[in-house]
Amino acid sequence: MGQTNPLKLSSTNLISKILEHEGLFCEHIPYCFSTKIFADKYPIIKEDLSKITTEPSFPLSFTMSKNSLLRRTISVPNLVSYIQLLSVYEQNWIALADKAVSDNSESKFNLVVPFSYNTNFKSSIRKRNNKFVGYKVKLNIDIANCFDSIYTHSASWALVGKENAKKIFNKSHDMDPSLIPLYEIGDKIDRATRKLNGDQTNGIMTGPYSSYLFAEIVLSEIDRKLTELEFAFTRYVDDYGFYFYSKADAEAKIEVIASIFREYNLSINSSKIKIETYPYDLLDDFGSAFENDIKNNNLYAVLHKALSLYKQEKKGAIKYAFKMLLAKGDIDSLDQTVLNMILGIVINIPEVSSLGIQLLEKPTDKRFLIKNEKRINQLLSRELQERHDHESLWLLYLLTKMGLPIDVDNLKRAIKTENDLLIIMCLDSIQTNPYNIYQYTGKSKNYFKKIKDLISCFTEEIAIISNLIKNEDYTGTHWLLAYEVAFNDLRLGKKVKIYESKKRNFYKILSENDVSFYNKIK
């Protein structure tokens, strides 16, 4: 199976690498949205963008499933605010890289890890087996709602210590002047991070790569405090594994660990506390589990095993199976049962939706998808009515990408969500393939034969879109919709003009350099 290497960040490439591989859009967003064009043009336009006044902005947000009961919010930050935040990291990279180093971390601060990267899990397990030999018990802990709980002021706390940060902030007579430069870096990160989210101090957004960088700074400092207390542990982002010689010792130390987290306004997720007795840190060799079935083209068995492992809390099993199928599987031989299983996984296990959609796109024989068009439209209708943004995005992408018929009522519902991403995809579907859109009259499908008849169905929706982008400045929630509608001429009716205050040339800078964040789905 091919492997994409993690990318090492530096003071000269941080912004360009993040824009190229992460950008504004995390892996949970259909890949028709991208910052790659912007990344290519960034060296030319960065000076002009840097002149735009920084003001508090508001992100575009959507929800995706967190578990069977709850959903999490994923955010797409404002472009100008995001670039200015990344600039703070890039300009102060050397100082930050020295501070955000933790020997206990398996999620390194200086790496961008693309979604296609096959994590070096085997190596991590080997290191743990060597490092923690002899311990009888492992205590697994994670931080409750980690990103949502991080206080933006904690950047300075992590860089100089909480008490020192307070002394510098209050200009106390006993503050340490030598720490002021580091404190000011933390303060810049704090201010720039807040400007992504309406100047809020409580919580950092889930989605942007900058949040991962911020969390690693804070958690690396917590790691140092835990190390000073002689804890033996490892960490991957906010998941901790502590090692003890007895279960009683592990249980007794939970409150000590919790008290360290509380210093940074963080708390333990009590529902996920788990104590394992030796043997622990066993290697899940998914490759061996799936290899023979893939070789024998028994792809149903691969997915069945992956789902069984997933149900046993082996969370990486499905992602690994999908990657193996993409790399080695005979995709053209996928039968209807297998394809239906993949579609079910896309709907119910959102963290692997991107890979699942790639599998559904692969077969040259599209009869399965054509046969399932009605079912996919029904699923899309249900997800839209439930306000399940993430599932709706991928189902609409699948219908559009595969050139499948789309129910006009689904497009109407999608526009009424007022979600920029869904609206842009809807407008693309209407303009790119209008004769593939139908409406039900009784029990029969009627396809539109005239574009004007199709557009006449969207009177209410056109008013919604116009209202969303009317006077939408670059700091607003719907800046992306306003820009793409104008730049790509994604409109239903009269030509759209976008508003821009005097002395702000954001839209102009982008359009004059042919920057778009949306690749039309073909």
pLDDT of 325 above 60:
yes
The whole-number pLDDT of residue 117 equals: 46
The whole-number pLDDT of residue 3 equals: 47
Q: What is the mean pLDDT of residues 96-122?
A: 78
Answer whether the bond into residue 177 is a cis peptide, omega within 30°: no
Range among 64-73, 166-175, 308-317, 327-336 with highest mean pLDDT value:
166-175
Question: How would residue 218 be classed by pLDDT, with cut points 50, 70 and 90?
Answer: very high
pLDDT averaged over the chain? 90
The pTM for the full model equals: 0.92
The whole-number pLDDT of residue 119 equals: 56
pLDDT of 501 above 70:
no
The whole-number pLDDT of residue 169 equals: 95
The whole-number pLDDT of residue 498 equals: 61
Percent of the residues in the chain that have a pLDDT greater than 70, as a whole number = 95
Question: How would residue 284 be classed by pLDDT, with cut points 50, 70 and 90?
Answer: confident
Q: Give dist(CA 190, CA 185) in Å, integer.
A: 9
- What is the secondary structure of 197-225 as a DSSP string? TTT--B---SSSHHHHHHHHHHHHHHHHH
What tokens were used for 469?
């982008």
Closest listed residue to residue 404, CA positions, set 415, 395, 416, 393: 395
pLDDT of 170 above 80:
yes
pLDDT in tens, 182-212: 999 999 999 999 999 999 999 999 999 999 9
3-state class of 234 per DSSP? strand
Closest listed residue to residue 309, CA positions, set 282, 343, 276: 282
Q: What is the mean pLDDT of residues 457-466?
A: 91
pLDDT of 1 above 50:
no
The whole-number pLDDT of residue 339 equals: 87
The whole-number pLDDT of residue 500 equals: 58
The whole-number pLDDT of residue 439 equals: 93
Higher pLDDT among residues 412 and 315, named by residue = 412
What tokens were used for 39?
């990344």
What tokens were used for 164?
């020192």
Closest listed residue to residue 321, CA positions, set 120, 137, 298, 90: 298
pLDDT of 235 above 80:
yes
Q: What is the mean pLDDT of residues 5-19?
A: 86
